Amino acid sequence: MAYLRLKTLHLIPVFFLVTFASFMMLDLLPGDTVDAILSDADTGEIGSMEAREALRKELNLDKPLIVRYALWLGNMVQGDLGRSYVTTQPVTEALVQRIPVSLELMIMSQILAIAMAIPIGIYSGYHGGSTVDRGISAFAFGVLSIPVFVAGTVYIWIFAIELGWLPSSGHTDFSEDPWGNIKGFILPALTLATIEFPILMRVLRVDVISTLQEDYIALAKSKGMTTWYILFHHALRPSSFTFVTLLGLQIGQLITGTVVIETLFSIPGVGKLLIDSVDTRDEIMVQGVITFIAIVYVVVNLLVDLLYAVLDPRVARRA
């Protein structure tokens, strides 16, 4: 797959750019890491000059930015993202604890979004221009304009407070209570899916409408295939190019959404870790999280490209 190798080469600079930019931004943030670590929250004392200098040296904070980046990069390649300035927990360990939580949330939300977008998109496309289709479109545009925290709050109010079906916050380990774990994820995942599916649905609808004009759909009809079979077995795959592209493009939005949602629902995932670490100016932890997010972004985009080739054999050949 020369095609995939080429794509990977494209994404490597993206990775460096993101990690370096985040390094720079953290450096530009007001306040001083050493102060943040040494200052006593209660008294406001900031520690002795000597202690401060020693710590600064230890953390390499006396070196220029580019050198620190190089040092960090060297360690990162070996899988060492450093230790938290605040809790002294290794960053990788903190990530390993939280990644499964965030991943579960993201995957569940994507499954929900896709599960809503595909049938509605196909239905809308098949009945393109009908009253139902126009109703769905209007509804989708409405949903699109709702900010994620508003959607989350509304769901909490309905399903947790009014109906009491699902918890409004918190997290249970899967190993302790599988059903409790899933219940805890339903509302956050639904919230993320709600804001994502309208666009997915709209692009699928447009592509389905044009695919249904194709001769091979007429041929499938003339073979006596059922409408359901034609839509899902003949029309869906050729119509899902933009859909899949969008899934990849929306990963950024999904990550932002996850950060908001984890905070809103107090879910101990990577997003919450990020917000907490920013709060405590735990620079090295923030850097670790951002690195992880950059890797996710790159991997997802590779997967999307791989998916193109699976969806349409002509792509692999063209490359």
Partner 1 sequence: MASETSASPLLEVVDLYTHFDTPRGVAHAVDGVSFRLERGRTLGIVGESGSGKSVLSRTIIDILAKDGSVLNQGEVRFEGRDLMALPEKDMRDIRGREIAMVFQDPMSSLNPVKKIGKQITEVLVKRLGMPGAEAKRRAVELIESVGIPDAAQQLDRFPMHLSGGMRQRVAIAIALAGEPKLLIADEPTTALDVTIQAQILDLLRRQQAERNMAVILITHDLGIVAQYTDDVAVMYAGQIVESCSTEELIRRPRMPYTEALMNSAPNLADPPHTRLDAIPGLPPNLLRVPRGCRFAERCPYAAEKCSAEMPALTDDDDPSHIYACWYPLEVKEAVSA
Give residues in contact with partner 1 (CB under 8 A): 127-130, 214-216, 218-226, 229, 233-234, 237-238, 311-314, 317
Closest separation in Å from C-beta 214 to partner 1: 6
Task: Measure the CA–CA gap between 187 and 108, rounded to whole angstroms.
Answer: 10
User: How is residue 153 written in tokens?
Assistant: 């709050």
Say what angle helices 178-211 and 241-249 make with each other, to 10 degrees: 130
CB-nearer residue toward partner 1: 10 or 223:
223
Tokens, residue 3? 């095609």
**Shortest gap between Cβ of 229 and partner 1 (angstroms)?**
7
Cα–Cα distance between 204 and 197 in angstroms, integer?
Answer: 10
Q: In the bound complex, what is the minimum distance in angstroms from residue 314's beta carbon to partner 1? A: 5
Torsion over CA: 77, 78, 83, 84 (sign): positive
Return d(Cα 84, Cα 296) in angstroms, integer.
Answer: 21
CB of 16 to partner 1, least distance (A): 36
Q: How far is the CB of 237 from partner 1 (least distance, A)?
A: 5
| Closer to partner 1 by Cβ: residue 75 or 226 | 226
Closer by beta carbon to partner 1, 76 or else 304: 304
Of the two residues 227 and 266, which places its CB atom closer to partner 1 in the complex? 227
Closest separation in Å from C-beta 209 to partner 1:
11
Cross-strand partners of 83: 90
Of the pair 38, 316, the CB lying nearest partner 1 is at 316
Q: Which is nearer to partner 1, 52 or 221 (CB)?
A: 221
Query: Residue 64 or 129: which CB sits closer to partner 1?
Result: 129
Per-position DSSP letters for 88-126, written without gaps between them = --BHHHHHHHHHHHHHHHHHHHHHHHHHHHHHHHHHHHH
Report the nearest approach of partner 1 to the CB of residue 219 (Å): 5
Copy the structure tokens of residue 207. Answer: 């592509």
Q: What single-letter amino acid sits at 128?
A: G
For residue 165, the 8-state DSSP code is: -
Record the tokens describing residue 139, joined without a space: 């509804």
Give the Cα separation of 13 and 26 in Å (integer): 20
